[in-house]
Amino acid sequence: MKQNIKENLECVREKIRDAEKKSGRKEGSVTLCAVSKFHPVESILEALNEGQTLFGENRVQEAFQKFSSLKSFSKTHPVLHIIGSLQLNKVKKACEISSCIQSVDRDELLLEIEKQAAKLEKTIDVFFEVKTGEETKSGYISDAPLFSSLEGLAKGSYPHIKAKGLMTMAPFTENEALIHSSFSRLRLLKEKINKEFPSLGITELSMGMSGDYLIAIEEGSTLVRVGTAIFGERSTS
């Protein structure tokens, strides 16, 4: 089946604009991250040619292979975010190929990102992944360890890391009330963090995927991670 990435992108962008308007949000306040995991380089190129510059991948090795080969094809530079749970031994490569790791879910990951980013003499943006629903496996489960990570950042222990925001996945359910409550939990948590650690200036809420990004925008998402609605179904093999 041929996916029409150009049309899909236009459609998603229009829906984002409508949702911004409907929720009284400023136009352009929601950033679209195109999740290209399991999709080939050609698909990424097609999206790049349509002006999509931000991409998300959840496996470091796959992302490394695809995005290094892109360099020879494309004049526009894609920006890559790592959005999948990360093992310590993958952090070095993740820091080399991406500008942002959205899936920080434990303190030891921060330590390793700091170490590798320092070696590369670059600053890595991070999002803290929070478990807000029943089914999802990854993310900080309670406030205490998250706040301890944030305290370290606020104290300046990680000079090569910039905390940008929070990330979550809503439960996969038809029950929209559950999805709303998952996203609103993340929004409230961000407010709490900004009260406690105003110096961090956390601004971003990464929430919303193909099935629920319109709900996420209603709940204040600033960054939606959309894969299937742009690139089509993934064959996960």
Ligand X SMILES: *Cc1c(COP(=O)(O)O)cnc(C)c1O
List interacting residues with ligand X (CB under 6 A).
Answer: 35, 37, 58, 83-84, 169, 209-211, 225-229
Of the pair 84, 220, the CB lying nearest ligand X is at 84
Instruction: Kindly tell me which of 71 and 137 has the beta carbon lying closer to ligand X.
Output: 137
State the minimum distance, in angstroms, from the CB of residue 100 to ligand X. Answer: 13
Report, in Å, the least distance between residue 127 CB and ligand X. Answer: 10
Q: Are strands 100-104 and 124-129 parallel, antiparallel or unpaired?
A: parallel
Q: How far is the CB of 54 from ligand X (least distance, A)?
A: 13
Q: Return the structure tokens found at 13.
A: 């962008």
165 burial level (CB within 10 Å; 0-12, 13-18, 19+)? buried
Half-sphere exposure of residue 95, counting CA atoms within 13 Å on the CB side?
26
Give the residue with the Cβ less far from ligand X, 136 or 181.
136
DSSP 8-state code for residue 222? S
The residue among 153 and 169 lying less far from ligand X, judged by its C-beta, is: 169
Look at residue 116 and give its three-state secondary structure: helix
Of 59 and 115, the one with the shorter C-beta distance to ligand X is 59
Query: Exposure pattern of 85-101 as b/e (b: 16+ CB <10 Å)?
Result: bbeeebbbebbebbebb
CB 72, min distance to ligand X, A:
26
Q: State in angstroms the smallest separation of the CB of 90 from ligand X.
A: 15
